Structure formats: C-alpha cells, structure tokens
C-alpha cells in the first residue's frame, strides 16, 4: 500500500489525482467551472492555493494548509479533537462526483480512491512544481504554450483580477512576471521535470 503523506497545518503540498481507471473527470466547460466553484467553497477556507491545473482525466494542485489557530475557528472545525485536514478535499471530490454522476447518468466512484499528496519542502522544488503544473497541458498536447490553456492558474498569475490564488507570492518567487513567463516558455522537457519531481 502506498504511503500517504499526512496533511498538517502550515505545510505545503502537491495534491493530485485522476479519474478511476483513467476515466474523464471533465467532459464540458461547465464541469471545470463547477469543480472550481466547489474548490473555492471547500478548500479556500483551509488552504492557500499557489497553482492548479484541471486536465481532462486528472488534476494537480499546489496548496499550503493554513495555520491551526486559523482553522480551529472555522465553522465545522471548532471543538473537534484532531483536525482532519483531508476531509475538505474528500468533501470536494464527493460533491463533484455526485453532481457529475447526476449530469451524465452514471454511478459509482469517479476519482481514484485516495488522492496523492507530496510534501513541498523547499523553494526550488516549489518553483519547478509551479512550472510543471502550468505546463501539463503542453506536455499532454492540448496546447503549445501554457498561457493558451484556460483551465490552469497560469493566466490568473499574470492577471490583475481579484482572486483567491496567492499570485503575488508566486510571481515573487520568480522575481518578476517577465521571468515567470520566460521560465514557463522555456520548460520544454516536462517529462524530465516530472522525473526530477519524483512523480
């Protein structure tokens, strides 16, 4: 059985999963939009988001779980012994599965049983992960450039619109928006990046 990293307050994680048996998670634009609405409802209260991408049959998230003092004051977490920080993610996936199954007349599981998570422990790993997540659509042949794919946080990073995304922090780690774009455009070997990230 694969070891699952415990989700703890104040730590940063790469969280990812795919459709069960490789099935599609998203079939139409409304699916992507609905998933992100549920994400904002269930995950934004407990975690800061730095990068994300939704692909047809899988997704990647880069999040930092908020501090315990903050989470304990949230509705549903107060007076609970031992914060179960995987629960908001499970709630997200369960709510999305229920809606997806209703929409397409299917039943049963949609996601692989346990969502994967890797602890992100240093800034270089973090930066490589941001580039990897945003270039996933390039790697899988959906677009030629990360900026052309609508279902990732890349465009939000270079936008000025209000967002839950921690874009100022992300751009700061790349020193400037121009360097952020350059690094992403030059990430030609995503397979090599994937191997270096241990995925």
Write down all domains in the chain, each with its CATH number in brackets: 12-196 (3.30.70.1290)
Asked if residue 51 lies in contact with residue 130, where contact means CB atoms within 8 angstroms, the answer is yes
The pTM score is: 0.89
Among 38-47, 73-82, 136-145, whose mean pLDDT is lowest?
Answer: 73-82
The residues facing 97 across adjacent strands are none
- Mean pLDDT value across residues 54-70: 93
Edge-first strand order for the sheet with 47-54 is 47-54, 58-65, 12-18, 116-120
Averaged pLDDT, 180-184? 92
pLDDT tens for each residue of 13-49: 999 999 999 999 999 999 999 999 999 999 999 999 9
**Which of the two residues, 193 and 160, has the higher pLDDT score?**
160
Q: What pLDDT, on a 0 to 100 scale, did the predictor assign at position 159?
A: 93
Cα-flanking dihedrals φ and ψ of residue 30, to 5°? -60, -30
Write the DSSP assignment of 32-75 as a string of letters.
Answer: HHHHHHHHHHHTTTTEEEEEEEE-SSEEEEEEEEPPHHHHHTST
Distances (CA, A) of 71 to 35, 43, 92, 163: 22, 11, 17, 20
């Amino acid at each position: 059985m694969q070891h699952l990293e415990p989700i703890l307050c104040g730590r940063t994680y790469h969280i990812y999963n795919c459709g069960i048996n490789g099935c599609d998670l998203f079939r139409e634009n409304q699916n992507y939009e609905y998933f992100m609405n549920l994400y904002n409802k269930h995950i934004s209260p407990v975690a800061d988001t730095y990068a994300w991408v939704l692909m047809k049959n899988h997704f990647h998230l880069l999040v930092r779980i908020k501090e315990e003092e903050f989470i304990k004051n949230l509705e549903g977490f107060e007076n609970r012994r031992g914060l179960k920080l995987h629960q908001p993610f499970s709630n997200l996936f369960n709510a999305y599965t229920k809606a997806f199954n209703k929409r397409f007349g299917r039943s049963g599981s949609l996601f692989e049983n346990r969502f994967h998570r890797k602890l992100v422990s240093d800034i270089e790993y973090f930066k490589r992960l941001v580039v990897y997540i945003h270039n996933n659509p390039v790697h899988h042949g959906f677009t030629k450039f990360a900026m052309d794919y609508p279902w990732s946080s890349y465009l939000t990073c270079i936008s000025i619109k209000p967002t839950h995304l921690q874009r100022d922090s992300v751009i700061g780690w790349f020193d400037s928006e121009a360097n952020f774009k350059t690094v992403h455009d030059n990430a030609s070997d995503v397979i090599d990046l994937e191997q270096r990230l241990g995925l």
